Amino acid sequence: MNSYELLVLTKPDASDEDRDVIVKRIEGWLKDAGSEVVESKFLGVQKLAYPIKKLDEAAFNIWFVDGPPEMPSELAAKVRIDEDILRHLLIERHPLAETEITKRQEGQNHGKRVQ
């Protein structure tokens, strides 16, 4: 199992109920692909750096997921055809990067570079 981070931008004018339906749909796709959702967050509606589909704002949602290596391609096929999703970004999280971030947050490395 690999660790992934999924960021999804949706239309900002969707109601809370519509947003919940989109989130449940995406979580269903993740589970169908054999993934486990570790954490899910709604980051709010934010201004975009440039317009996407003539919109200046988007609702940001992020998921932290553990899944098999074939999950990204399965998910991408479904996300691309969904009209409610403006953009998505799926990256693989490296385990060493997570430990470095944790150490920095705890202040254990005292400004030294962690290797």
The CATH number linked to 23 is: 3.30.70.60
At 27-77, the pLDDT tens digits run 999 999 999 999 999 999 999 999 999 999 999 999 999 999 999 999 999
Q: Flag whether 44 is in a domain.
A: yes
List the strands of the sheet with 36-52, edge to edge. 36-52, 55-67, 2-10, 85-93
According to the model, what pLDDT value does residue 94 have?
A: 79
Q: Flag whether 53 is in a domain.
A: yes
Task: Give me 56's structure tokens.
Answer: 């200046």
Q: Flag whether 113 is in a domain.
A: no
Instruction: Give the CA angle between residues 56, 59, 63 to the nearest 5°.
Output: 140
Between these two residues, 76 and 107, which has the higher pLDDT value?
A: 76
Q: How many domains are contained in the chain?
A: 1
Q: Flag whether 8 is in a domain.
A: yes
Please choose, from the candidates 90, 5, 93, 2, the residue with its C-alpha nearest in 3D space to the C-alpha of residue 41.
5
Q: Flag whether 112 is in a domain.
A: no
Q: Flag whether 13 is in a domain.
A: yes
pLDDT of residue 17 exceeding 70, the answer is yes
The whole-angstrom distance between residue 102's C-alpha and the CA centroid of its chain comes to 19
What average pLDDT does range 87-98 have in this prediction?
83
Q: Could you give the CA distance from residue 29 to residue 35 in angstroms, rounded to a whole number?
A: 9
Q: Flag whether 23 is in a domain.
A: yes
Q: Residue 67's domain spans which residues?
A: 2-106
